[in-house]
Amino acid sequence: MATIPAGGDDLSGLSLFARHEYHREHLLLSFFSFFLYVLADTGTAVEDNLCIAVTGTPGTGKTTICESLSELYTVVSLQELAEQNGCLEPVDQVDGSAPLDIHKLSETWVREETETCFVDGHLSHLLDVDAIVLLRCNPEKIRERLEQRSYSPEKTNANVEWELLSGTWSELLEFEIEVPILELDTTVSSSEELVESIVQWMDEGTPSASLKDAASNAMNWL
Protein backbone atom coordinates (compact mmCIF):
# COMPACT_ATOMS: atom_id res chain seq x y z
CA MET A 1 0.00 0.00 0.00
CA ALA A 2 1.30 3.44 -0.92
CA THR A 3 2.08 5.66 2.06
CA ILE A 4 0.91 9.28 1.90
CA PRO A 5 3.85 11.55 2.70
CA ALA A 6 3.70 14.07 5.49
CA GLY A 7 1.87 17.15 4.26
CA GLY A 8 -1.37 15.52 3.12
CA ASP A 9 -1.80 14.93 -0.62
CA ASP A 10 1.59 16.32 -1.74
CA LEU A 11 2.88 13.37 -3.79
CA SER A 12 6.03 15.06 -5.08
CA GLY A 13 8.19 12.98 -2.79
CA LEU A 14 6.88 9.67 -4.12
CA SER A 15 8.18 7.65 -7.03
CA LEU A 16 6.10 7.33 -10.20
CA PHE A 17 5.07 3.81 -9.21
CA ALA A 18 4.12 4.90 -5.68
CA ARG A 19 2.06 7.79 -7.04
CA HIS A 20 0.28 5.39 -9.38
CA GLU A 21 -0.50 3.02 -6.49
CA TYR A 22 -1.74 5.88 -4.34
CA HIS A 23 -4.13 7.11 -7.04
CA ARG A 24 -5.39 3.56 -7.66
CA GLU A 25 -6.09 2.97 -3.97
CA HIS A 26 -7.74 6.38 -3.65
CA LEU A 27 -9.98 5.64 -6.64
CA LEU A 28 -10.98 2.24 -5.26
CA LEU A 29 -11.77 3.76 -1.86
CA SER A 30 -13.88 6.48 -3.48
CA PHE A 31 -15.76 3.91 -5.57
CA PHE A 32 -16.42 1.73 -2.51
CA SER A 33 -17.70 4.71 -0.52
CA PHE A 34 -20.00 5.69 -3.40
CA PHE A 35 -21.27 2.11 -3.67
CA LEU A 36 -22.19 2.05 0.02
CA TYR A 37 -23.94 5.41 -0.36
CA VAL A 38 -26.02 4.13 -3.28
CA LEU A 39 -27.05 1.05 -1.32
CA ALA A 40 -28.15 3.14 1.63
CA ASP A 41 -29.91 5.71 -0.55
CA THR A 42 -31.92 3.12 -2.51
CA GLY A 43 -32.81 0.96 0.47
CA THR A 44 -31.16 -2.13 -1.03
CA ALA A 45 -28.67 -2.71 1.76
CA VAL A 46 -29.29 -6.03 3.46
CA GLU A 47 -30.27 -5.75 7.12
CA ASP A 48 -30.32 -8.61 9.61
CA ASN A 49 -32.82 -7.25 12.14
CA LEU A 50 -35.93 -6.53 10.09
CA CYS A 51 -39.46 -6.76 11.44
CA ILE A 52 -41.66 -7.96 8.58
CA ALA A 53 -45.45 -8.15 8.55
CA VAL A 54 -47.05 -11.15 6.85
CA THR A 55 -50.52 -9.92 5.95
CA GLY A 56 -53.39 -10.68 3.62
CA THR A 57 -57.05 -11.63 3.58
CA PRO A 58 -57.98 -14.61 5.80
CA GLY A 59 -57.50 -17.72 3.72
CA THR A 60 -54.46 -16.54 1.77
CA GLY A 61 -52.12 -18.87 3.66
CA LYS A 62 -50.44 -16.65 6.26
CA THR A 63 -50.33 -19.25 9.01
CA THR A 64 -49.04 -22.01 6.73
CA ILE A 65 -46.25 -19.85 5.37
CA CYS A 66 -45.34 -18.50 8.81
CA GLU A 67 -45.04 -22.06 10.10
CA SER A 68 -42.40 -22.66 7.44
CA LEU A 69 -40.72 -19.31 8.16
CA SER A 70 -40.55 -20.21 11.86
CA GLU A 71 -37.97 -22.88 10.99
CA LEU A 72 -35.63 -20.08 9.91
CA TYR A 73 -36.73 -16.97 11.82
CA THR A 74 -38.67 -15.78 14.84
CA VAL A 75 -42.40 -15.57 14.10
CA VAL A 76 -44.88 -13.87 16.43
CA SER A 77 -48.66 -13.94 16.18
CA LEU A 78 -50.55 -10.66 15.99
CA GLN A 79 -53.23 -12.22 18.19
CA GLU A 80 -50.66 -13.05 20.87
CA LEU A 81 -49.22 -9.54 20.73
CA ALA A 82 -52.72 -8.14 21.22
CA GLU A 83 -53.32 -10.39 24.22
CA GLN A 84 -50.00 -9.44 25.79
CA ASN A 85 -50.69 -5.72 25.33
CA GLY A 86 -54.34 -5.72 26.39
CA CYS A 87 -55.62 -4.90 22.91
CA LEU A 88 -58.36 -7.51 22.53
CA GLU A 89 -61.97 -6.38 22.82
CA PRO A 90 -64.84 -8.50 24.23
CA VAL A 91 -65.78 -11.58 22.20
CA ASP A 92 -68.29 -10.92 19.44
CA GLN A 93 -71.39 -12.99 20.17
CA VAL A 94 -72.14 -13.31 16.45
CA ASP A 95 -68.96 -14.98 15.16
CA GLY A 96 -67.27 -15.86 18.47
CA SER A 97 -64.09 -13.88 17.76
CA ALA A 98 -62.48 -11.17 19.85
CA PRO A 99 -61.96 -7.96 17.83
CA LEU A 100 -58.41 -6.62 17.90
CA ASP A 101 -57.71 -2.94 18.50
CA ILE A 102 -54.87 -2.58 16.02
CA HIS A 103 -54.50 1.16 16.52
CA LYS A 104 -54.03 0.74 20.28
CA LEU A 105 -51.59 -2.11 19.66
CA SER A 106 -49.56 -0.02 17.22
CA GLU A 107 -49.14 2.60 19.95
CA THR A 108 -48.34 0.24 22.83
CA TRP A 109 -46.33 -2.54 21.22
CA VAL A 110 -42.59 -2.36 21.77
CA ARG A 111 -40.59 -4.79 19.70
CA GLU A 112 -38.40 -7.04 21.83
CA GLU A 113 -36.76 -9.15 19.12
CA THR A 114 -33.24 -8.05 18.15
CA GLU A 115 -33.05 -10.30 15.07
CA THR A 116 -35.23 -10.54 11.99
CA CYS A 117 -38.78 -11.50 12.89
CA PHE A 118 -42.14 -11.89 11.17
CA VAL A 119 -45.54 -10.82 12.51
CA ASP A 120 -48.37 -13.10 11.37
CA GLY A 121 -51.78 -11.46 11.08
CA HIS A 122 -54.18 -9.89 8.60
CA LEU A 123 -53.78 -6.48 10.28
CA SER A 124 -50.03 -6.72 10.87
CA HIS A 125 -49.31 -4.24 8.06
CA LEU A 126 -50.76 -1.51 10.30
CA LEU A 127 -47.97 -1.98 12.86
CA ASP A 128 -44.67 -0.11 12.76
CA VAL A 129 -42.76 -2.66 10.67
CA ASP A 130 -39.79 -2.46 8.31
CA ALA A 131 -41.33 -4.35 5.40
CA ILE A 132 -44.50 -6.16 4.38
CA VAL A 133 -45.18 -9.49 2.71
CA LEU A 134 -48.69 -9.23 1.25
CA LEU A 135 -50.26 -12.57 0.37
CA ARG A 136 -52.92 -12.64 -2.33
CA CYS A 137 -55.13 -15.47 -3.52
CA ASN A 138 -57.86 -16.00 -6.08
CA PRO A 139 -61.13 -15.05 -4.30
CA GLU A 140 -62.83 -18.31 -5.26
CA LYS A 141 -59.96 -20.26 -3.72
CA ILE A 142 -60.36 -18.16 -0.56
CA ARG A 143 -64.08 -19.00 -0.52
CA GLU A 144 -63.22 -22.69 -0.73
CA ARG A 145 -60.69 -22.47 2.11
CA LEU A 146 -62.95 -20.46 4.42
CA GLU A 147 -65.90 -22.77 3.86
CA GLN A 148 -63.63 -25.65 4.89
CA ARG A 149 -63.00 -23.71 8.12
CA SER A 150 -66.76 -23.52 8.67
CA TYR A 151 -66.87 -19.73 8.39
CA SER A 152 -70.41 -18.37 8.24
CA PRO A 153 -71.67 -17.40 4.76
CA GLU A 154 -71.65 -13.72 5.81
CA LYS A 155 -68.06 -13.83 7.06
CA THR A 156 -66.92 -15.81 4.03
CA ASN A 157 -68.54 -13.38 1.60
CA ALA A 158 -67.05 -10.38 3.42
CA ASN A 159 -63.52 -11.78 3.13
CA VAL A 160 -63.97 -12.84 -0.49
CA GLU A 161 -65.16 -9.33 -1.33
CA TRP A 162 -62.23 -7.81 0.59
CA GLU A 163 -59.76 -9.80 -1.50
CA LEU A 164 -61.66 -9.12 -4.72
CA LEU A 165 -61.43 -5.38 -4.10
CA SER A 166 -57.76 -5.49 -2.95
CA GLY A 167 -58.75 -4.24 0.49
CA THR A 168 -55.30 -4.48 2.04
CA TRP A 169 -53.82 -2.33 -0.73
CA SER A 170 -56.55 0.23 -0.06
CA GLU A 171 -55.45 0.41 3.59
CA LEU A 172 -51.79 0.72 2.65
CA LEU A 173 -52.66 3.65 0.41
CA GLU A 174 -55.03 5.23 2.92
CA PHE A 175 -52.45 5.22 5.70
CA GLU A 176 -49.56 5.97 3.30
CA ILE A 177 -47.46 3.05 4.52
CA GLU A 178 -44.21 3.57 2.63
CA VAL A 179 -42.17 0.45 3.37
CA PRO A 180 -40.90 -2.27 1.01
CA ILE A 181 -43.78 -4.53 -0.04
CA LEU A 182 -43.59 -8.01 -1.57
CA GLU A 183 -46.86 -9.23 -3.08
CA LEU A 184 -47.16 -12.99 -3.60
CA ASP A 185 -49.89 -15.09 -5.20
CA THR A 186 -50.60 -18.13 -3.02
CA THR A 187 -53.34 -19.61 -5.21
CA VAL A 188 -51.24 -22.48 -6.55
CA SER A 189 -47.69 -21.97 -5.20
CA SER A 190 -46.45 -24.22 -2.40
CA SER A 191 -45.40 -22.79 0.95
CA GLU A 192 -41.83 -23.88 0.20
CA GLU A 193 -41.78 -21.88 -3.04
CA LEU A 194 -43.25 -18.84 -1.32
CA VAL A 195 -40.78 -18.96 1.56
CA GLU A 196 -37.96 -19.23 -0.95
CA SER A 197 -39.26 -16.09 -2.68
CA ILE A 198 -39.40 -14.24 0.64
CA VAL A 199 -35.87 -15.25 1.64
CA GLN A 200 -34.52 -14.27 -1.78
CA TRP A 201 -36.28 -10.89 -1.52
CA MET A 202 -34.65 -10.31 1.86
CA ASP A 203 -31.24 -11.37 0.56
CA GLU A 204 -31.61 -8.79 -2.22
CA GLY A 205 -32.32 -6.05 0.32
CA THR A 206 -36.17 -6.04 0.07
CA PRO A 207 -36.35 -4.10 -3.22
CA SER A 208 -39.71 -2.44 -3.86
CA ALA A 209 -41.35 0.18 -6.03
CA SER A 210 -42.96 3.24 -4.47
CA LEU A 211 -46.29 2.61 -2.74
CA LYS A 212 -48.36 4.11 -5.55
CA ASP A 213 -46.46 2.28 -8.28
CA ALA A 214 -46.65 -1.02 -6.40
CA ALA A 215 -50.38 -0.60 -5.82
CA SER A 216 -51.04 0.28 -9.46
CA ASN A 217 -49.28 -2.92 -10.53
CA ALA A 218 -50.90 -5.11 -7.88
CA MET A 219 -52.88 -8.25 -8.69
CA ASN A 220 -56.37 -7.49 -9.92
CA TRP A 221 -59.05 -10.16 -9.61
CA LEU A 222 -61.78 -8.08 -11.28
Dump the DSSP string for 35-103: HHHHHHHHT-S--SS-EEEEEESTTSSHHHHHHHHTTTSEEEEHHHHHHHTT-BPPPPTTT----B-HH
Do 141 and 201 fall within a single domain?
Answer: yes
pLDDT at 31: 44
The answer to whether residue 221 sits within a structural domain is no
pLDDT at 93: 67
Do 13 and 31 fall within a single domain?
Answer: yes
Q: Assess whether pLDDT exceeds 90 at residue 28.
A: no
Which DSSP symbol is given to 8? S
pLDDT at 37: 43
Task: Mean pLDDT check: name the lowest of 83-87, 94-98, 168-172, 210-214.
Answer: 94-98
Do 14 and 124 fall within a single domain?
Answer: no
Contact criterion met (CB below 8 Å) for 55 and 129: no
The answer to whether residue 175 sits within a structural domain is yes
Do 209 and 118 fall within a single domain?
Answer: yes
Share of the chain above pLDDT 90, in %: 71
**Dist CA 149 CA 156 (whole Å):** 10
Q: pTM for this one?
A: 0.78
Would you state the torsion angle of the CA atoms of residues 150, 161, 216, 68, taken in this order, to the nearest 10 degrees? 0
Do 35 and 71 fall within a single domain?
Answer: no
- The tally of domains found in the chain comes to 2
Do 65 and 106 fall within a single domain?
Answer: yes
Phi, psi of 134 (to 5 degrees): -105, 115
Do 10 and 58 fall within a single domain?
Answer: no
The answer to whether residue 93 sits within a structural domain is yes
Using pLDDT thresholds of 50, 70 and 90, give the confidence band for residue 124: very high
The answer to whether residue 123 sits within a structural domain is yes
Do 110 and 188 fall within a single domain?
Answer: yes
The answer to whether residue 191 sits within a structural domain is yes
pLDDT at 30: 46
Alpha-helical (H) ranges within 75-209 are: 78-84, 102-108, 139-148, 153-164, 167-174, 191-203
Using pLDDT thresholds of 50, 70 and 90, give the confidence band for residue 148: very high
Do 61 and 34 fall within a single domain?
Answer: no
pLDDT at 99: 87
How does the average pLDDT of the chain come out, rounded? 85
Q: Assess whether pLDDT exceeds 90 at residue 147.
A: yes
Residue 116: CATH number of its domain: 3.40.50.300
Do 27 and 75 fall within a single domain?
Answer: no
Do 37 and 55 fall within a single domain?
Answer: no
- State the Cα angle at 133 between 129 and 134, rounded to 5°: 115
The answer to whether residue 111 sits within a structural domain is yes
Full domain range(s) for residue 25? 1-42
